[in-house]
Structure formats: C-alpha cells, structure tokens
Amino acid sequence: MKALVYGGPGKKALEDRPKPQIRDAGDAVVRVVKTTICGTDLHILKGDVATCAPGRILGHEGVGVVDSVGAGMTTFHPGDRVLISCISSCGKCEFCRRGMYSHCTTGGWILGNEIDGTQAEYVRIPHADTSLYPIPEGADEEALVMLSDILPTGFECGVLNGKVAPGSTVAIVGSGPIGLATLLTAQFYSPAEIIMIDLDDNRLEIARRFGATQTVNSADGKAAETVMALTGGRGVDTAIEAVGVPATFELCQAIIGAGGVIANIGVHGAKADLHLETLWSRNIAITTRLVDTVSTPMLLKTVQSKKIDPSLLITHRFALDQVLDAYDTFGRAAATHALKVLIEVS
C-alpha cells in the first residue's frame, strides 16, 4: 500500500509499505477512505514529539471501511463504515474507567505516533471495539473526518477545561483549524463575547463568519492591550491557547481576568514562562489536556442534527498520491489560506 512516512525532523516521503495485518484479538484493519493533516503532524515534523520515531506512518484522523477484524471483535464487522478516533482506548484500564482515554495504558494517542497511522491506504486499529464509531447512514463523511480529532479536542481541551459559561467572555488565541473548532463548540454555552486572536486577517475573517464577536490581529504586538480595552480592563474569563508556542501562552497570561481559566490546547515543543509574579494572587486556574474523545458520541449527534457543520473547515482537497503537495499547502497556510486539507484515499 501507499503511505506517508516520517523520516525524521523535516523529512517525509510517500512510500510503499506492507498492508497491515491483524495482530491482536481486538484489532481491526480499516481501509482508509478519507484522512487529513493535523497541526500535530507539523509538530512531529519539527521534531517536537519525541515518541514518534523515524519510519512511522503519520496520521491519526479519518473515516474508512472495516477490512478485517480480530477474533475478539464483537461490535464491528468487515464492510462497516467507521469513524476512526485519534485516541485508542481499551475501555478497561484504570484511566479508561476514569474517562481519561488519552492515558489508556495500552492505547492513548498512539496512531501516527507510536504505531503506524491513517495517512495510508490501510491502518490497523487496536482496541477497535472502543476506538471506532459507526457512521450513520447518509452522514457527510467529510464532516466526520473533523470528529476524529479537532472537534473533540477544541471542545474538551478548550471549552470544557476552560469552563466556558453563558454570558462569559472568551478569548481564543489562534484562529487555525483547532481554534476555529473551539469557536464552533464554545457557542454551545452561549458566551457573551468570543474574541479571536491571530496574525492572519483571512483566518480572522473566517472566525467572524463562524461566530466570533471580536477579532484581534496580534501582528502589532499590542493584542493584550486591545483585549484589555475590549473588556473594560478586566480581562477575559477564559483564555484558550490554540497554537503551541511560548508567545501565545504568555499572551493568555496577559489577558486573563481575576478568577479566570487559561486552557491550553496547543502542542508545545519549547518551554514557556509562567508569570507567577503577576498571577499568584489572581485566582487563576491553568489546565492542560490531551483529548480523551469522551465527547465524540455527543458531537456526532450534534453534527448529524446540523447544529454545527465542521465541513466548513475544509478548504483544500487532495488525493493520497498528492499528499506531499497537501503538506506543503497546509504548512504554508498564511499564503494558501488553508484550514483543513482533506485527503481522498480510496
């Protein structure tokens, strides 16, 4: 089969690889139909994710059709159309029983990280009974690709961890795909203000169309002053970091109001300063999280009922044999205006 393979920092190639086989009784092999590229894949290519070794097939998102199943499988059968979760969960270990699927002792975020991922014609899914979701008849598969990762990530790590509440003021730092997914799901809770902050005017315009009440271009270095002015000097109730660089985390610290929550989503590959000299007395909570995908069933119903349409995040489409062009487009988003790029596999 064809697969996109990580060759070490800055290196990737489309290669021929053996089709994966069933290894454990709970495995399924899925024929990938559609997949996409995540910002985390770019972090891997920068060398930020030490657990991903050269030779790994990248990708942790997608929809497909079950090709074969292990002897222990009970829920899915060959021919079933499925949504692939970015998190693999056994459903039985201590962490899974606490709903922390991301820390499953034999799973978690392993696809495209510790085991081969979805940017290929086929992928092996461990713990498939609890790591796949059936696709309802008539569902928009393109929209559902966004449910593999970015929609539950934005919702769980940003909205839920950030304690977004009716009437509250929210700032989302980063108007890329994950920030926009956070914006879409934050509106479940009817905050009074959602302020989107980014360097890219195109993405900020999209954020306005998606429901942002205010947008701030941070290129002038005065984003914190602007947000404080917009909030009457109080700061925001929730600041959500959706980029993964020190400057954006520090900006969240500068705009959070007393009693507020800073919710980190971004994948950080470098240390960031924590300004306790200003935050120590301000009743601030700082949260971190890897998506657990516990919200996926709810979000699936929400998308099916057309309460939100995550397919709006898709800006470009490529075939698998164009995956290097897809990475180039996604990696130069400021120039290409890319949000999510969809890769048609089969």
| Confidence class for position 57, pLDDT limits 50, 70, 90 | very high
Q: Which domain holds residue 276?
A: 154-287
Question: Strand 81-84 to strand 132-134: parallel, antiparallel, or no bridges (unpaired)?
Answer: antiparallel
Average pLDDT over the chain reads: 96
Residue-level pLDDT at 346? 85
List Cα–Cα distances, 227 to 41, 72, 107, 172, 231, in angstroms. Answer: 31, 54, 40, 11, 6
Q: Does residue 135 share a domain with residue 201?
A: no
Q: Assign residue 178 a region (left: φ > 0; alpha: ψ between -120 and 50; beta: otherwise).
A: alpha
Question: Strand 193-198 to strand 256-264: parallel, antiparallel, or no bridges (unpaired)?
Answer: unpaired
CATH classification of the domain holding 279: 3.40.50.720
Q: pLDDT tens digits for 208-222?
A: 999 999 999 999 999
Share of the chain above pLDDT 70, in %: 100
Q: Does residue 297 share a domain with residue 281?
A: no
How much is the average pLDDT of 161-176?
Answer: 98
Q: Does residue 312 share a domain with residue 282?
A: no
* Residue that finishes a domain, picked among 261, 287, 313: 287
Give the phi and the psi of residue 195 in degrees, each rounded to 5. -100, 120
Q: How many domains does the chain have?
A: 2
Q: Does residue 200 share a domain with residue 103?
A: no
**pLDDT for 269 beyond 90:** no
Residue-level pLDDT at 218? 97
How much is the average pLDDT of 25-49?
Answer: 95
CATH classification of the domain holding 305: 3.90.180.10
Q: Does residue 95 share a domain with residue 29?
A: yes
CA distance 106 to 87: 11
Q: Any idea what DSSP says for residue 213? A: S
| Confidence class for position 241, pLDDT limits 50, 70, 90 | very high
Q: Does residue 296 share a domain with residue 283?
A: no
Q: Does residue 48 share a domain with residue 91?
A: yes
Q: pLDDT tens digits for 108-155?
A: 999 999 999 999 999 999 999 999 999 998 899 999 999 999 999 999
